[in-house]
Chains A and B, each alone.
Chain A
Amino acid sequence: MKPGAPVLLTLVVVGAVVVGLQSGATWLAPSEVIAGLSDPLAPGAAIVRGLRLPRVLLAFLVGGSLAVTGAALQALVRNPLADPYLLGISGGAGLGAVIAMALGLGGVFAVPLAAFAGALAAVALVYRLSAVGGRPLDTNVLLLSGVVIGAFTGAVMSGILAVSDASQLRSAVNWLLGGFGSAGWSTVLAFAAYAALPLALLWSTGRALDLLTLGDEPALHLGADVERTKRIAYFCASLLTAASVAACGIVGFVGLVVPHAIRRVATPLHRGLLPMAFLAGGSFLVLADAVARTVVRPIELPVGVVTALVGVPVFAALLRKSLR
């Protein structure tokens, strides 16, 4: 690991959180943010504590989870282009959530659970599509299957929304486009509760993920329990993607951009990569959300628009590099 990387990352995290707390319908100076955080009676305290802090925290947790998921998936499929969005897992989770909403199942549990079921189904389907005799043919075929499943889930979601009644439609569409507008403390706590276990599990398989990047056979010979590691990692990736989609809709490319950057500036070893990707992914999504809220104020852009505007060029660059 390069020596300056943790210091740099700490600065990025602090900077992103401060900017996230500053931005919104009214722009707060850094001093107002600090006052609002430290003194409950300060003029900006209600905005900072009640509205912006939960929003920033949720964006941070979701961004971190998506980045960790992307890093793990890239090790699993041995391809830097893997990401929960491109592998169709987000789409599966989204479809599960839309079905739950269309059936009128609400609440803290139903939507994330339906999203989780959808995510697992998408993983299984993508894997099935790209494998012959239980062995995946080629990671590019796997990605292509993911894109196809993503397109399919998108079409079914549109179909369901088209036949839904107007009020349901509006709330589902708002949620689906992705955003943290409705973030509150209960969402933050619920998300943290869902995400803690899979994040810890993924970190604990970090060394096995290192070995998996070499390929299944070399990993086996170096002592990795390949099948078990894959099961754990796909399970955790599905859980984290589902929790993210349930919390803020479909946000793509965080899992693509962030691990790539961390591998380059810090380390490719997962015991370091995963925590750093979490911090950097959190910062990235907080900043993306700050941009989404302010760039065409008073209208809020869906945060997925911002991440895609950053992510697609990165994807294109990685693709060019992988073709060379």
Chain B
Amino acid sequence: MILEAAGVVVRYPGATDDALAGVSLALGAGEIVSVVGPNGGGKSTLLRALLGIQPLRAGQVRLLDRDLAAWSRAEVAQQVGVVVQQEEPAPGLRVTDAVLFGRYARLSPLAAPSAADHAAVHRALERADVVHLRDRFVTQLSGGEWQRVRLARALAQEPRALVLDEPTSALDVRHEMELFELVAALRAEGLGCLVITHRLNLAARYADRLVLLHRGRVVAEGTPTGVLVRERLSDVFEWPVAVTTWCDGAPQVVPLRPGEEQQSAAGPRPQEPESK
């Protein structure tokens, strides 16, 4: 396993409830694991715990089978690339320099970036399809371009795992699909990808495993078909949904309007009851 959480408990100062109440999760090489769940369910806290920036009350996070607390920040950055949900572009910074920041964890304090570093930056720019933007200021980019530049920066880290928090929340259909396709391609190259997202239907089509997080607990974990079950989702999201199947076999979630519940239950493709 690249990244592994076991029985993680987090409670924020002053809170009466645990933000995470014993969460376990594992991310291996060459797989996409997607964490889904309602707002406030603990997704962001889990991400912070997995990345070692959230103190744990109990449990352990291990990176490459070693306690995360034993790693320095620079060592972690050599193994895990992260794209956080929101980041303001820094003024005056050009795209190439921004992506070069991904190499900083590998540079010795006094040395200048080597040819290998510049080559890694170029590969990352190509991979994320932003070579043509290299000389632009990051403040001049569109939301989708900035997102891809940040992904390029994470790829320049040459990590074993990528952690993406709501990577497509600001993107239109094309850019969203391009990003998920890129993640799928990276999985094929052996990267482990952890994607936190509200896009249940894309998670169902791209992820190997889903982790449904609700009130700080893992409510369900497994294949998309095993996790995205009508009754469970209606319960967790507190909104009635129907679950259908797309032609590739992936379950697709349709939130219902009032009055549609009966109709969909008798609909043409009712889902078979599933167990976890």
Residues of A within 8 A of B (CB): 78, 80, 133, 204, 207, 210-211, 213-215, 217-218, 220-226, 263-264, 268-269
Residue of A whose beta carbon sits closest to that of B104: A207
Query: CA of A222 to CA of B153 in the docked complex: distance in angstroms?
Result: 9
Query: CA of A293 to CA of B109 in the docked complex: distance in angstroms?
Result: 42
Query: Could you jot down 29 A-B contacts, CB within 8 Å?
Result: A78-B90, A80-B91, A207-B107, A207-B109, A210-B104, A213-B90, A217-B53, A217-B87, A218-B84, A218-B87, A220-B73, A221-B80, A221-B84, A222-B77, A222-B102, A222-B104, A222-B105, A222-B153, A223-B74, A223-B75, A223-B76, A223-B77, A223-B105, A224-B73, A225-B72, A226-B73, A263-B92, A268-B90, A268-B97
Given contacts A210-B104, A214-B90, A217-B84, contact A223 B13 (CB under 8 A): no
Contact of A221 with B90 in the complex, beta carbons under 8 Å: no
Question: Which interface residue of A204, A217, A223, A224 has the most chain B CB atoms within 10 A?
Answer: A223
Does B210 have its Cβ within 8 Å of any Cβ on chain A? no
Residue of A whose beta carbon sits closest to that of B112: A271
Out of A213, A223, A268, name the residue touching B104 (CB < 8 Å). Answer: A223
Contact of B109 with A204 in the complex, beta carbons under 8 Å: yes
> What residues on A are CB-neighbors of B51 within 8 Å?
220-221
> What residues on A are CB-neighbors of B72 within 8 Å?
225
Contact of B101 with A214 in the complex, beta carbons under 8 Å: yes
Query: CA of A268 to CA of B101 in the docked complex: distance in angstroms?
Result: 12
Contact of B157 with A222 in the complex, beta carbons under 8 Å: yes
Q: A219 to chain B: closest CB distance in Å? A: 9
Q: Within B94-119, which residues are at the interface with A (CB < 8 Å)?
A: 97, 101-102, 104-105, 107, 109-110
Residue of A whose beta carbon sits closest to that of B81: A221
> What residues on B are CB-neighbors of A133 within 8 Å?
13
Residue of A whose beta carbon sits closest to that of B97: A269
Out of B82, B88, B104, B153, name the residue touching A224 (CB < 8 Å). Answer: B104
> What residues on B are CB-neighbors of A264 within 8 Å?
92
Contact of B101 with A222 in the complex, beta carbons under 8 Å: yes
Query: CA of A204 to CA of B108 in the docked complex: distance in angstroms?
Result: 11
Query: CA of A269 to CA of B92 in the docked complex: distance in angstroms?
Result: 9
Question: Which interface residue of B73, B80, B81 has the most chain A CB atoms within 10 A?
Answer: B73
> What residues on B are CB-neighbors of A226 within 8 Å?
73
Contact of A220 with B53 in the complex, beta carbons under 8 Å: yes
